[in-house]
Amino acid sequence: MRRNVFVIFLIIIVLSIGVIQEGGCALFERKPEEPLILPGKIVFQSDRQPSSVYQKQDKRLFSIAPSPDHPKSIKAPVDTFFSDAMEATQSQTIYLLENGAMVKVAEGVLPRLTHNGGKVIYRGENYTLHVLDLATQKEEILEWSGQYTTDFFDLAPNGKTLVFRSDKLHYSKYRTDAHPNFKTANFFITSLDGSDIKQITDFPGNTGAGDPQWSPDGTRILFVVRLSSESDDEDLKRGLYTIAPDGSNLKKFPIPRELNPWYAGWSPKGDKIVFVGKDSLERDQIYLFDIKTEVVTQLTKNEQRRWFYADPLFSPFGTQILFECGRKKIPNPHVGSVLFVINLDGTDERQVTPYVKIKKYGRTRWGTDIYPDWAP
């Protein structure tokens, strides 16, 4: 009797695991030993190689550069480390990854490629922005950026103008005698040398606005508002927006509110937007929004709420969508994510970065690949 009960218990466990693995990007079923080779360059942030010296929230930058013109490995001394509680790391070696072999190129977070793929911009120590030339390995530190506590940022297609978010407010009509300490994050634009910083937004409260991205023609900036405004201003409710570089012509895309859109990106022609939203069962899905026709199309078929999607972006050729996929922290708090790619018609979903386990804080957990960017 006890043996029968035990057998039934094992069957239930096996069936439960099968249900858990259905849908989503099947992270725990697909375990390629090597990354998928894709055209162009992809950078992303990862903790798949944690530091053995400094074991706080360790992050790395990797680059996929399938071009034989790049050297296989370049080392450069970096003698600083991050003290940020969320993104601390021991600085070590800069690597380049080519032909699907992942190699470190920098120590930092939030990587963004220039539009021609020649340089990567990322946030380093003390919130300063760094610009690394992938061919020459020459690095420029934008010293002015640290004082603005930059987090989200993007470089314009012209390679000269930067948009960034900061809570170091220059001006706000909402800061009055009644609210002398009013402060919220806003967007700014500037040249790379920081000589002409201009504030282009003045949000009325904690809108959660972030992820600014230049349009391919450099005339618009896309961003997401994650939280409802604390004011009665209906112009800043949750959704996807664009604004001109001079702060004018604020527009909201007419995407159904129930989709709860966030994590968005432009198509190479600027005629479509890819974003993560929720379906009717509160499952993460990836959607396409056609700006001209205002039609929303669902690409993915995520069947489980335990899977999450984030940071979708078009390939530089406009034929595929790269995105982050992982499992939410239920029931296992030690979970991670990897990168996947899917065609615009929702077919041929494939894993890009290898799935790995790492040891951190004396425990085994899944590695995390986040914040990808893709350029030619």
CB atoms under 10 Å from CB of 56, counted, come to: 19
CB 188 within 8 A of CB 198: yes
What is the tens place of the pLDDT at every residue in 48-60?
764 433 333 334 4
Location of structure tokens 């990567």: 120
Domain membership flag for residue 274: no
Indicate whether 330 pLDDT > 60. no
CB atoms under 10 Å from CB of 331, counted, come to: 9
Higher-confidence position of 86 and 252: 252
Could you tell me the residue range of the domain that residue 65 belongs to? 39-146
What does the pLDDT read at residue 327? 74
Q: What is the rounded CA–CA span in Å between residue 83 and residue 61?
A: 17
Q: What share of the chain is helix, strand, coil (3-state, %, to 5)?
A: 10, 35, 55
Q: What is the DSSP letter of 11?
A: H
Say how many domains are in the chain: 1
Domain membership flag for residue 123: yes
What does the pLDDT read at residue 168? 75
Amino acid at 81: F
Amino acid at 369: D
CB atoms under 10 Å from CB of 313, counted, come to: 21
Average confidence score pLDDT of the chain:
75
Indicate whether 47 pLDDT > 90. no
Q: What is the rounded CA–CA span in Å between residue 239 and residue 343?
A: 25
Q: What is the rounded CA–CA span in Å between residue 88 and residue 57?
A: 5
**CA atoms 169, 171, 174, 179: torsion sign:** positive
What does the pLDDT read at residue 205? 65
Domain membership flag for residue 56: yes
What does the pLDDT read at residue 1? 57
What mean pLDDT is predicted for residues 207-215? 87
Domain membership flag for residue 124: yes
What is the tens place of the pLDDT at every residue in 83-135?
222 333 333 333 345 566 677 888 888 899 899 889 999 888 788 999 999 88
Domain membership flag for residue 332: no
Q: What is the rounded CA–CA span in Å between residue 206 and residue 185?
A: 8
What mean pLDDT is predicted for residues 302-311? 86
What is the tens place of the pLDDT at every residue in 343-365?
999 999 888 887 777 776 677 77
Q: What is the rounded CA–CA span in Å between residue 120 and residue 117?
A: 7
What is the tens place of the pLDDT at every residue in 152-207?
999 999 999 999 998 876 666 666 555 555 567 889 999 999 989 999 988 776 66
Rounded to a whole number of angstroms, the CA Rg of the chain reads 21
H-helix segments, the chain: 2-21
What does the pLDDT read at residue 25? 63
Domain membership flag for residue 30: no
Beta bridge partners of 123: 109, 129
Q: What is the DSSP letter of 234?
A: G
What does the pLDDT read at residue 275? 97
Location of structure tokens 């012209």: 158
What is the tens place of the pLDDT at every residue in 266-296?
999 999 999 999 999 999 999 999 999 999 9
Domain membership flag for residue 337: no
**CA atoms 277, 283, 285, 290: torsion sign:** negative
Q: Which of 285, 255, 291 has the alpha carbon at shortest distance from 273?
A: 291
Put the strands of the sheet holding 272-278 in their side by side order.
Answer: 262-266, 272-278, 284-290, 296-298
Indicate whether 75 pLDDT > 80. no
CB atoms under 10 Å from CB of 337, counted, come to: 25
pLDDT band at 370 (very low <50, low <70, confident <90, very high): confident
Domain membership flag for residue 117: yes
